[in-house]
Structure formats: C-alpha cells, structure tokens
C-alpha cells in the first residue's frame, strides 16, 4: 500500500490527541501518523477487517499476499482484493507490487507451489552466527533460530543443552555439549524440509518424547512432505515424568499447536506414537 498509515483518516477525537505544539502554533494530524505507538495494530486491524470476507489473502501491515489454487483462481482473488481496496479509497504503489510470480518472499519465508521454505538470507545469517559468549548473545540467537522452529520437529531436544544456560544460575560454562547442540541446530535448519500446502488427503500426526523435549509432525498420508511441526522443551518437573506420561504430553503439545490452525480445525486425523501402552489404552476403551 502507498504511504500505508497516511491513508487512514482520523476522527475528530483522535485528531485532538495528535496535536503538536510548534513555534508557528498548534497543528493536528488529519491522517494516522507513523509516530503513534498504536499505529501498527490499528492499521493491521483496519486492513484485516476490510479484506476479511475474501479467501486466499494474507495481510501483514501494508503487505498483502494473494494466492490461488491455479492461475484463474489467483486472478479472480486478485481482482476481488483490488476492487475492495479501490472501493475503500486505498491506493497501491506500483513499484512495490508483484503480480503472477511463481514464488514470493513473505515474512522471512519463501512461498511457492511446493510449499513453505525458510528464507535463504535468514538461514545464512543463522549459519554464520558466531558462538555465543554470554546469556544475552545466546538469547538473541535462540530468538532468531526459533522463528523457524516449525520446520524442525526435534529442535527442542537438540537445543536442550543451550536452554540449560538460560537458568537463573549466573555461572556461564560453554561446554562441548553446548557447542555440539549449537552446531547441530544450525545444520538442521540448513537441511530443513519444505512445509507442504494442505490438500484433501487424510492427515497424520506423529508424536514422540525424549528425556529433554517433545516433538510432533503433521503430514498427509502417503506424502513425502511435512505440513507443520511442533516441539517443546520439558520443564524440570516434566523431565521426571514416566515415558508414558511424556508421550501423552507430546500428544497434548501436538493437539494444542495443530488445532489452532485453520488446516486442522474441525478435521479428523490419525495419531501415530511409538509407545505400545497407548494401543492397550485404546483397546481397553473399546472393550
């Protein structure tokens, strides 16, 4: 969108709140200024509500992504978006628009017909990240790395040695275990798989638990790709659970993460977990 926030008109009460005092007198904004702290959320809410009746549209501030199942569907969706924006009096900046492209980079991801990929530039930045020398640098690395956690189902277990350094104990000791986890995590992201698009095939959720973390993968049956992944690091109390309880916690983790997505909401799925006791639980319920 062209000039983003400045396309949003302010009501009379809001204009008063934006009054600024200058040597030449008092002035009020007629449009939403960039300097207002709530401007991003207000603009996001406005554009989302404006396009909420349309399908295959994603909005992040002034970046609007329009998709489709094929070329004809994409053109129809694009026409609907443009018509809605025109009726609302909003304009676009042509030099910032891309139409009919086979792939697009959006919010740190590459999206194409195969699915969702991590951005090569972001992955390279993580790969070239130096070894942390204190807690602040470690937190910075983990924040950047965790942005792509959905591509890595076992990342919580791999990162567990690093999370040990984030406890309240002020001592810092970067041992061989931390260095091994640090390098393995970066290698995992560099070789991560593509998250595929949803289709009508039956869904399968596979769960597992280790002594340090939980992992889950959502995929389609008879498919080589993965749709979503989830992982979580076990707390001190959870590490004391039996293996059966940890596996049950992995199921809860999967359901909690996947059920909040439009892909799985109100849909059935098959659950796969490598613990024989769960088959006995299911059998007892049938009996």
Q: What is the mean pLDDT of residues 78-97?
A: 93
Q: What is the pLDDT of residue 287?
A: 36
Rounded to an integer, what distance in angstroms lies between the CA atom of residue 281 and that of residue 261? Answer: 28
Print burial letters for 173-211: b (CB count within 10 Å at least 16), e (below 16). ebeeebeebbeebbebbeebebbbbbeeeebbbbbbbbe
Helix (H/G/I), strand (E/B), else coil: 241 = coil
Quick: pLDDT tens for 106-163: 888 888 887 778 888 888 888 888 999 998 899 999 988 888 877 777 777 888 889 8
Rounded to an integer, what distance in angstroms lies between the CA atom of residue 12 and that of residue 26? Answer: 15
Phi, then psi, of 270 in degrees rounded to 5:
-95, 140
Domains in the chain and their CATH numbers?
4-101 (no CATH), 116-190 (no CATH), 203-286 (3.10.20.370)
Q: Which two tokens stand for residue 21?
A: 């005092």
Kindly tell me if the per-residue pLDDT of 14 is higher than 80: yes
Q: What is the pLDDT of residue 237?
A: 86
Residue 260 carries which DSSP code? T
Provide the pLDDT confidence category of residue 48 given band limits of 50, 70 and 90: very high
Print burial letters for 135-155: b (CB count within 10 Å at least 16), e (below 16). eeebeebbeebebbbbbbbbb
What is the bridge-based pairing of β-strands 269-273 and 228-233? unpaired
**Averaged pLDDT of the chain:** 82
Quick: pLDDT tens for 240-283: 888 888 888 888 887 777 765 555 554 566 777 766 666 655 54
Q: What is the pLDDT of residue 32?
A: 92
Print burial letters for 34-44: b (CB count within 10 Å at least 16), e (below 16). eebeebeeebe
| Cβ count near 12 (within 10 Å) | 7
């Amino acid at each position: 969108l062209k000039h983003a926030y400045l396309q949003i008109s302010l009501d009379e009460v809001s204009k008063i709140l934006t009054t600024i005092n200058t040597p030449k007198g008092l002035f009020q904004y007629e449009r939403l200024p960039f300097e207002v702290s709530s401007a991003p959320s207000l603009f996001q809410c406005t554009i989302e509500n404006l396009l909420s009746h349309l399908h295959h549209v994603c909005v992040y501030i002034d970046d609007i992504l329009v998709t489709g199942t094929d070329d004809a569907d994409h053109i129809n969706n694009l026409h609907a978006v443009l018509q809605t924006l025109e009726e609302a009096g909003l304009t676009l900046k042509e030099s910032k628009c891309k139409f009919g492209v086979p792939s697009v980079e959006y919010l740190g991801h590459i999206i194409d017909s195969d699915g969702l990929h991590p951005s090569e530039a972001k992955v390279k930045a993580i790969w070239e990240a130096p070894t942390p020398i204190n807690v602040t640098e470690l937190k910075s690395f983990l924040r950047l790395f965790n942005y792509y956690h959905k591509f890595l189902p076992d990342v919580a277990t791999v990162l567990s040695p690093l999370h040990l350094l984030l406890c309240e104990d002020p001592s810092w000791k970067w041992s061989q275990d931390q260095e091994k986890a640090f390098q393995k995590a970066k290698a995992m992201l560099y070789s991560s798989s593509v998250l595929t698009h949803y289709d009508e095939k039956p869904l399968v959720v596979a769960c597992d638990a280790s002594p340090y973390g939980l992992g889950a993968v959502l995929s389609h049956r008879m498919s080589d790709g993965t749709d979503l992944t989830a992982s979580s690091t076990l707390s001190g109390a959870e590490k004391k659970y039996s293996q059966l309880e940890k596996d049950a916690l992995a199921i809860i983790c999967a359901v909690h993460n996947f059920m909040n997505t439009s892909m799985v909401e109100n849909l059935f799925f098959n659950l796969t977990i490598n613990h024989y006791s769960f088959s006995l639980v299911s059998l007892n319920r049938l009996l």
